[in-house]
Structure 1
């Protein structure tokens, strides 16, 4: 029993200590109908290690890896080049052995990294304070909504139409347990992001917060300042969501435009696609007065008894550290390794490197949009974008995407996949172009679409 090293005598002694007659008594609250009495059907029996390896290899061969195709997927998860030095540095012992820094005297490497990480995120987002990361972008977004409810004493969150539908789903799931109300709607296939309609909705209600994505799910970029002004006039907070941090190497930060809370997904910097996770949630606030309402934890700089520079956990308002009813979050640790990878990659880039990377992403995206616009039946929706834009195709984009994948071209994310119940979006395709896509890849994409549409 490699992972269950207890003997029958050990188990018996523990059950006797807590007064339970048997192990089943520990699950008395689970209805008997849910008990598994027989082995799981169709689950294969045991096999040798070599046989399992061969089986898993056959399964993995069914995947089309990002590096084996012309790759234009995005919509919240982006393929960027991660230097080999990132992987080398994050495996150093001073980081790898201090996953969660409860004992600062032996976790200075991790604590210093988190302190630097917070500084990088705060500057990237145009905010005063950032925390030491969250689980991912969608749950960070929800935590921001709950934080806004605590601050404003209201419970209505207005979501802009451009917020990622997976984030909307996470918000709606969590709102079931808190009593928060959520107002949202699907986007329209238009360059007009509906900002006037959003402002009118804010003015007609008294929300706790307004949530916008920047750039949004269709890749549209717009000024957040008028939205911030409208929200503040109603006593609400503006929450800005960013799923592509590289964009902020070229665009004005949300904090500069008045966003009160900025959250997002950090995967694009330092963290690979990894078949969907683990990823990295980012969280920052513009006004320092909101620091004590932030979820998660913050690392701070101090000096030790000898006057030497050191790092500690300064704020960690979770249920293990303070009274449960006073906790602002149940975040018990963070995606520490992903935060480290983000910070290392960002350090290697520096401000100049990030701006250059952003410029190259935008250049290639413009080339791709111009090339696709020349294909009969294809129209580019966006008039302003960073490295991601939406096109409309003559037909259901889902079927076209599948045909292109057969040709080893991962053309993008179909809106029909993200919004299966919205027929008016079925022709939409989100195309993301990063520095990993060459000009030849762009031509391959265009040629493949032309062939499929013939």
Structure 2
């Protein structure tokens, strides 16, 4: 619980300093319909500290933790086993308290870690260069769109219909300030992505095409086909990946012609954590685009004695150069999450990552085969990694709620992701990882059969 020591006099002095007559003046840019006009309904005006702590503990007991139930949620945030050694290393004082490595002579450990992290991301994505991380996958996705506009000098963005809707919404929100035209869509419940429909929307004014891989329905689109079509029109291909473990089993986006690859790194080394903090990954295939990358880049050098050392090679943010020349206003990176990702990736190694990916896919195939036997359930995907979509013939949101009450976290309903789209309402997105047991799969199938009968 935070302790707020400011008095009314303190607040008044600060408001006077910034030229505001009241605290409300600080929120004039927030739409009026989004502002509170009174107390939050249902909350008491005052309670003791002990009473509040008791109340919050009671509320926390209503949570159903991922480890306490059969868990099949995904849609961009995945439950994987994180070895205890990851937490042990990132809690070391030199990492836990370290901030931005402005002074390389006293931050060699942090800089070397970021350099190794960049190398891992670049190899994972099949790219030449990766930066020292972003805030999360959604903001990395927008930064890729903004970067493509700088490179191509164009202002039209084509979003795949199978892009995660939350990522698409971040792009639309940010585009309001840059006046980029966003050509979006929503997915159709079909076994394969509509590549030809996507390609048909690319024109001579398109700066980039944004595709998710695997996509929001768990399908694996042919990226090379899209890349060739985009390049023919002078546009760039931006590929978003929200499940990095998949790249231990499938061809990397960079190998398939992606120009910019971004993603969410949470699945490796970072727990679910109630939705954050997470980790944005960002890489480019062509080194000539490196100066247009947002964020920071660590590089290797030698010191005055010829010894290997590390420095911030590029930092294209507004703190370091004139704002009008900056490529981004990103002022830091998710350093501790990047460290967790790098430690976990180092512990896995290439063989370990491939073995982890294979186990994820094996269990997902078992789950898909078992759910396909449930009356009223059909599996949508022909190909998938560890996440796939099933159709259950009725509103999936109600079924998910019913199963959650019975202690089974069955998946993410497409009606929740795409509210108002009745054509997607019976779709259920099911994710399976190495933490899922065959007993969990059987429990889900039995519960689903009961809920649909």
Task: Report the TM-score range of the alignment, normalised by the length of the smaller protein.
Answer: over 0.9
Q: Which runs of 5+ in 2 are unaligned?
A: none
Could you tell me which residue of structure 1 aligns to residue 102 of structure 2?
102
CA–CA distance in structure 2, aligned partners of residues 217 and 384 of structure 1: 13
Deviation for aligned residue 1:307: 2.3
In the TM superposition, what whole-angstrom CA distance separates every residue of 1:345-392 from its partner, at most 9, and x where no partner exists?
Answer: 111111100000000000000000000001111000000000000000
SS of the residue corresponding to residue 177 of structure 2 reads coil
Give the C-alpha shift of residue 161 in structure 1: 1.2
Residues 105-144 of structure 1: matches in 2 within 5 Å? Answer: 105-144=105-144
Alignment of 1:204-219 (within 5 A): 204-219=203-218
Corresponding residue pairs, total: 449
**1:323 corresponding residue in structure 2:** 322
- CA distance, structure 1, for counterparts of residue 375 and residue 267 of structure 2: 33
CA distance in 2, matches of 1:65, 1:8: 43
What is the SS of the residue equivalent to 1:208? strand
Q: CA deviation at 1:52?
A: 3.0
Query: Structure 1's 36 and 364: CA in aligned 2 closer, same or farther, altered over 3 A?
Result: closer
Shift of 1:160: 1.0
C-alpha separation in 1, matches of 2:11 and 2:428: 58
Give the unaligned 5+ runs of structure 1: none
Moved more, 50-59 or 358-367: 50-59
Corresponding residue number in structure 2 for 1:93: 93
3-state SS of 1:190 partner? coil
Q: Give the distance between the partners of 2:49 and 2:185, measured in 1 at CA.
A: 50
The verdict on how the C-alpha distance between 1:262 and 1:439 changes in structure 2, with shifts beyond 3 A counting, is same
**2:21 counterpart (21, 24, 33):** 24
CA RMSD in angstroms comes to 2.5
How do residues 240-389 of structure 1 correspond to structure 2 at under 5 angstroms?
240-389=239-388
Residue aligned with 2:234, SS: coil
**What pairs up with 1:214-253 in 2 under 5 angstroms?**
214-253=213-252
- SS of structure 2 residue aligned to 1:127: coil
Q: Hey, what's the Cα distance between the residues in 2 that align with 1:332 and 1:451?
A: 51
> What secondary structure is seen at the aligned counterpart in 1 of 2:201?
helix
Q: Give the distance between the partners of 2:396 and 2:429, measured in 1 at CA.
A: 10
Report the TM-score, using the length of structure 1 for normalisation.
0.93
CA contact (8 A) 2:15 2:21 kept: no
Distance 1:312 1:211 in 2: 32
CA gap of 1:200–1:42, structure 2 versus 1, over 3 A, is closer
Q: Is the 8 A contact 2:104 2:111 kept in 1?
A: yes
Return the alpha-carbon distance in structure 1 between the equivalents of residues 295 and 235 of structure 2.
22
Cα gap change, 1:370/1:93 in structure 2, threshold over 3 Å: closer, same or farther?
Answer: same
> Which residue is 1:439 aligned to?
438
1:419 equivalent to 2:418? Answer: yes
Q: 1:157/1:36 Cα in 2 relative to 1: closer, same or farther (>3 Å)?
A: closer
